[in-house]
Amino acid sequence: MRSRLNSLIDALLPVLATLAALFVGAVMLLILKVNPIVAYAALWDGAFGSTNALAETLVKATPLLLVGLGICISFRGDVINIGGEGQMIIGAVLATWVGLNFTGLPGWLTILLSMFAGFLGGAIWGGIPGVLKAYFRVNEILSTVMMNAIAVQFMNFLLRGPMIDPAQAQAASQIPQTARLEEIFRLPRLAPTRLHLGALIAVILAVLVYILLWRTTLGYRIRAVGQNPHASRYAGIKVPRYMVLALLLSGAFAGLAGAIQVFGVNYRMITDGSASGFTGSAGFNGIVAALFGGLHPILTIPASILFGALLVGANKMQRVVQVPSALITALNGLVVVFVVSSEIIRRRRQRRREAVAKRDDETPLTGNKPISQAEAGS
Amino acid sequence: MDPIIILQAGVATGTVLLFATIGEIFAERSGVMNLGVEGMMLMGAMTAFSTTIATGNPWLGVLAAMLAAGLISQVHAFITITLQADQVVSGLALTFLGTGISLVLGEGLSKAGTVSLLPNFSIPLLSQIPFLGPILFTKQSVMVYIGYLFTPLTWYFINHTRPGLNLRSVGEYPSAVDSLGISVFRLRYFYVFIGGMLAGLAGATISLAVSPGWFSELTTAGQGWIAVGLVIFAQWDPVRAMFGSYAFGALRRLILDIQGPTILFGFNNPFYYNPYWGFFLQMLPYAFTVIVLVIGSREAMRKRLGAPAALGNPYIRGERGK
């Protein structure tokens, strides 16, 4: 009974963190001379107010979940992947190329090949920093950020050059976008809304990632390397190989997110010249969602829906109270701030509980520490 | 494609990276990695520009920028030093926070028109030196000259003064500092604040001197991240940071200039006739950062030195080891 209450309080900490972030956000709204209640009501209405709104929220949550799943893998392996944006872009580019060129095949086969191309593209773009980290000791945080910037310019090159929509190439506007995918090569929709098959794929993959991490040798080794690389090396695990693998898989999921964004939502690749012009910053927000879900693939599902709702709701909020939707970027930062801060409360409670348990029965506790989010991310 | 102009502009734009990099060197030398440089720079650039619009005095803008970025850095300090949470996650959160706040408060600033900027001037006598004079001392912004003075001073401070010794020790072996009765926590808070102020200065240097104005995220365009990378290349040494920063500045200018002429080295310039090839040029600063990181990491491995030993670890009083 006691332990159930304890785990309930632990589970509620992220909720409290969100409320705290919303409170600070309300203060910011007051500074901007906006009624926070009106603003948040608009946000809620925009995210959940109708069937269409709910579908939009799930559509926005899909890439967050996919990127977040990759983050669960890499952060558990103690590899920090900030390169989701670039990996999404490269995955999408490769998938779009397949979708536009393999038009002789049956629709389902081309879609399958495209998804695989997206997976592969992300894996390559994540694998490069992985190799640099494992064999050249290059800090992966910085190399993945740089790979993002390189991917953006590569996308700009392709979408204004070789891959530009033939119609745009002749028009004066020169909008950087590819041709539109034919109807049979698009991911089917699930309801009379914009919700598409990709959302379902993402949820299934969340379960698969859970199995990968906790029910397979591969996942065990990735986590072991993340917890203690030295001990893993003595146990005969080839540490560099699993570092590369963690980043590679992480990138692959982001690449798939990019591919699904093209095949399920836009039906073409389009940008405004920046990374977020295509990704909508899902490569970054996916990190926030995964951290919020405690780096647990299943808990990342509700976390992605929460942040998807914030993003969709923010557009409505912007229309109703004229607050820039960038407020959500600040709010995301605040949520992470409060989540990592609440982590110490959880750790202290844990320590106190262990102390009590130790006093109750004098058997010494073994040293297996609980995986906390902060430790997993260090 | 005049090399003098490229180097001259390189020193000017490199000054932005210089301030941000040295700021991060201070924080990391004390044992706190702050990945939020990009967010703090945006805060600085936005605050500097809006304060200058409001008051008409760019120096007040610089001051406000340093204070704003310094203040927001204290969020990171509190989370990582007092709450002992993960520095990477907190730094990322700071990037989001700083970016979000500056975009919200900077809404509409891009249409605010012209403001009085920081002065540019030439140094008499020094500007007469052949080659170096026109590059370093002719019509440069006052911020560039501040950079010249600032770099050797920080080098001297870190390596040859008593507080500098404390700074280095707190990043290498904090419990030794603690045993001398010096507060590890207070020192780290202080240097994270200094790091934030310098990132703010870097932001102000962009919006009030180097490329004046407010262009939302494009104001910094990832330079905060390049600065964090330069710290590793610089091996936590301000003088190496200076050369790295100026080299990056020159590269940025070279990329702009190479797309201008119709004839390049006797050939038709491919970047002029196919403008979209220019995107490959724009990859260069980031690709170079990766190369620079490989070089920096190899060197650190060879010399058996590099990052401060306690970098990334929270200091917990009474706990064994670091």
pLDDT mean over A105-126: 95
d(CA A16, CA A14): 5
pLDDT mean over B80-103: 91
Band of residue B316 on the pLDDT scale cut at 50, 70, 90: confident
pLDDT at residue A126, as a whole number: 97
CA B186 centroid distance within chain: 23
Kindly determine whether residue A330 and residue B96, on different chains, have CB atoms separated by under 8 Å: yes
pLDDT at residue A204, as a whole number: 97
Supply the DSSP symbol for B83: S
Kindly determine whether residue A138 and residue B297, on different chains, have CB atoms separated by under 8 Å: yes
Domain residues of chain A, as ranges? 2-376
**Token duo for residue A338:** 């409060």
Kindly determine whether residue B97 and residue A291, on different chains, have CB atoms separated by under 8 Å: no
**Which residues from B are below 8 Å from A141, CB to CB?**
35, 88, 228
pLDDT at residue A360, as a whole number: 67
| A126 φ, ψ (degrees, to nearest 5) | -85, -30
Domain at B3-303, CATH from 1.10.1740, 1.10.10, 3.90.1690, 1.10.3470 = 1.10.3470
**Cβ–Cβ under 8 Å, residues A71 and A299:** no
Q: Which residue has the tokens 């944006």?
A: A85
d(CA A336, CA A226): 21
Residues B178-213 pLDDT 10s: 999 999 999 999 999 999 999 999 999 999 999 888
Residue B288 has pLDDT above 60, yes or no: yes
Residue B119 has pLDDT above 50, yes or no: yes
pLDDT at residue A362, as a whole number: 54
End-to-end CA distance of chain B: give it in Å, rounded: 52
- A106 burial class (0-12, 13-18, 19+ CB within 10 angstroms)? exposed
Residue A361 has pLDDT above 80, yes or no: no
DSSP letters for A149-168: HHHHHHHHHHHHTTTS-HHH
Among A150, A159, A323, A335, pick the best mutation site for testing chain B contact (most B Cβ within 10 A).
Answer: A150
**Cβ–Cβ under 8 Å, residues A323 and A29:** yes
Band of residue A378 on the pLDDT scale cut at 50, 70, 90: very low
What's domain A2-376's architecture? Orthogonal Bundle (1.10)
Q: Which of B73, B62, B168 is nearest to B115 (CA)?
A: B62
d(CA B137, CA B126): 6
Nearest-Cα distance to chain B for A32, in Å, is 8
Closest Cβ–Cβ partner in A157, A334, A344 for B97: A334
Kindly determine whether residue B100 and residue A331, on different chains, have CB atoms separated by under 8 Å: yes
Kindly determine whether residue B225 and residue A142, on different chains, have CB atoms separated by under 8 Å: yes
Residues A261-297 pLDDT 10s: 999 999 999 988 888 889 988 999 999 899 889 899 9
Nearest-Cα distance to chain A for B59, in Å, is 25
Residues 6+ apart with CB under 8 A from A41: none
Residue B322 has pLDDT above 80, yes or no: no
pLDDT mean over A328-349: 83
**Token duo for residue A248:** 């590679």
Closest Cβ–Cβ partner in A149, A329, A377 for B96: A329
Residues A48-80 pLDDT 10s: 999 999 999 999 999 999 999 999 999 999 999
Residues B137-147 pLDDT 10s: 988 999 999 99
d(CA B302, CA B236): 16
Band of residue B320 on the pLDDT scale cut at 50, 70, 90: low
Nearest-Cα distance to chain A for B250, in Å, is 18
Kindly determine whether residue A340 and residue B35, on different chains, have CB atoms separated by under 8 Å: no
Kindly determine whether residue A344 and residue B96, on different chains, have CB atoms separated by under 8 Å: no
Q: If you measure CA to CA, which chain A residue comes closest to B284?
A: A150
Kindly determine whether residue B298 and residue A136, on different chains, have CB atoms separated by under 8 Å: yes
**Bigger pLDDT: B313 or B72?**
B72
Q: If you measure CA to CA, which chain A residue comes closest to B312?
A: A378
**Cβ–Cβ under 8 Å, residues B208 and B12:** no
Q: Which of A266, A310, A238 is nearest to A57 (CA)?
A: A310
pLDDT at residue B265, as a whole number: 74
**Bigger pLDDT: A129 or B312?**
A129
pLDDT at residue B204, as a whole number: 96
Residues 6+ apart with CB under 8 A from B146: none
Residue A168 has pLDDT above 90, yes or no: no
Q: Which of B104, B32, B73 is nearest to B202 (CA)?
A: B73
